[in-house]
Structures are given as structure tokens and as C-alpha cells.
Amino acid sequence: MKVIKLGGSLLEQPDEMRALFASLSDIENNTVIVHGGGALAQQWLSNAGLKSEKHEGLRVSPQEHMPYIVGALAGCANKQLMSWAIAAGLRPIGLTLHEAGISCRRQSATLGQVGTCELFESGLITNLLKSGYLPLISSIGFGKQGEWFNVNADDAAVAVAANLDADLLFLTDVDGVLDSEGQLIEQLDSRSIDELTKSGVIRDGMLVKVRGALNAAKRLRRCVRIGSWNLMNQTHSGTQISE
């Protein structure tokens, strides 16, 4: 089983998304997709005249912002992905973390309704896959009292992968991590990541992706991959990140 975390930039690239779902239609249905949609949420909040702030990379999510965040992520972004999947002949089903068997709690009072995943149950995913569905899980979660939570999409993907004991792929718009000569680096671990970061080879947006993948590998205690949609069906494609 494989969990794919869609990078936010890909959600704004319709051609890439159509190609991704077309490739999924050619393989055995054992794939789960987890997504966020920060840019869309930002747009909805701005259109509503609400000021959105970030704290240590996380979007502060006060209660009054949540209808817009939920609408953007679990609504518009999720249903756009469903649209592309249906056009590719797949059977998508849009879900939140709750249906995936994951319960959430508030991460901190400072962040408002930003959630962290804490309780794991069996959920519906395995049965949905057996029935031929493609689960599309937004990074919206629920607490034990039914309260809404905005969960970081990387953290949501790790939680889903852990709950399903699945491999995790961070899908992005590049083939993987490249060296100083533009060649794909097939494997990285904590030590090599530190060295390449200090030398400036891994930097900016890719540094964020690599650190997220490394944290995921540590939490899952298994390798995590970073790659593009056209490499995802190749077992050893992209860059493999380990502890």
C-alpha cells in the first residue's frame, strides 16, 4: 500500500494532476492520496477580508477562519481532485482524516484550531481500497467532541501512512533531490542531508521538503521518497530518504 502526499504547488498544475491520475488508472488500486491546499485557503480567507498569519510555518487557524479553511481544503481542493480522478476513469471518494481512522486534538492555544493527530483506529480505507475506490484525504481533522482542526498536510500524510503501515511518497514538481551538477541523488540520510545543506546543494523549498521527509522517515521508521508523478510507479525512483 502506498500513501501519496500531494505538494501544494501540484494542486495548481492541472496538466500535472491529469497525468498523475491517468498513471494511477494503469496500476493496481492500492494508493491513498493525502492533500492540503494552503494557497487556496489563503485565497478564500483574503476574499473574506480575513487576515491570515503563520507561526513557525503553520497557519494560525482561529475558529472564525475554520469555515473558509474547511471549505477550501475538504471542499474545493478535494472535489477538484475528485474531478480529475473521475475524468481518468477512477473511482475517487473524498474524505477527511476522521474517515481514515485518525482523531485530532489542538496543538496549542497560540495556533487556534491547528490540530495534531493522536488517536488511530481502523477507519474505512482498507475496505474502500478493496472495493475499488481511490481515497482522497484532505488534511482536515476532527476532535473527540466533533471540533474542526486544520492539520499540516505533511503531518497528516505521515499519520495516514503510519495508520495503514504504508509506504509514503512526497509527490512534488521535480524528479527528486538533485546534486550540484543537476543529477538525481538516489539516497539520502541524516548525515548526507546535513552535509549537502551546509554546502548549499540542498536549500530553499527543497530543504523544506527534505527535512519533512526525514522527519517522516524517523517517525515511520521506514524510508520515505520524494519524487514526481512520472516516477511514482517505479519502486526505486526519486530520492529515498532514511534516518
| 3 state SS for 14-46 | HHHHHHHHHHHCCCCCCEEEEECCHHHHHHHHH
Active site residue 79: no
Active-site hit among 154, 212, 227, 238: 154
Contact between residue 43 and residue 25 where contact means Cβ atoms under 8 Å apart: no
Active-site hit among 209, 212, 227, 238: 209
Q: Residue 99 carries which DSSP code?
A: T
Q: How many CB atoms lie within 10 A of CB 136?
A: 23
Active-site hit among 5, 75, 112, 212: 5
Q: Quote the cell numbers at residue 106.
A: 489542538
SS3 category, 79:
helix
Q: Quote the cell numbers at residue 76.
A: 474545493
Which of 153, 192, 128 is closest to 74 using CA atoms? 153
Active-site hit among 8, 71, 94, 143: 8
**Which single residue is written with the C-alpha cell 491546499?**
37
Distance between terminal CA atoms of the chain?
Answer: 21
Active-site hit among 7, 38, 123, 212: 38
Quick one: 59 exposed, middle or buried, by C-beta within 10 A (0-12, 13-18, 19+)?
buried
Q: How many CB atoms lie within 10 A of CB 121?
A: 11
Active site residue 176: no
Active site residue 5: yes
Contact between residue 206 and residue 238 where contact means Cβ atoms under 8 Å apart: no
Active site residue 209: yes
**Integer Cα distance of 181 and 175 in angstroms:** 14
- As annotated, the active-site residues are 5, 8, 38, 154, 209
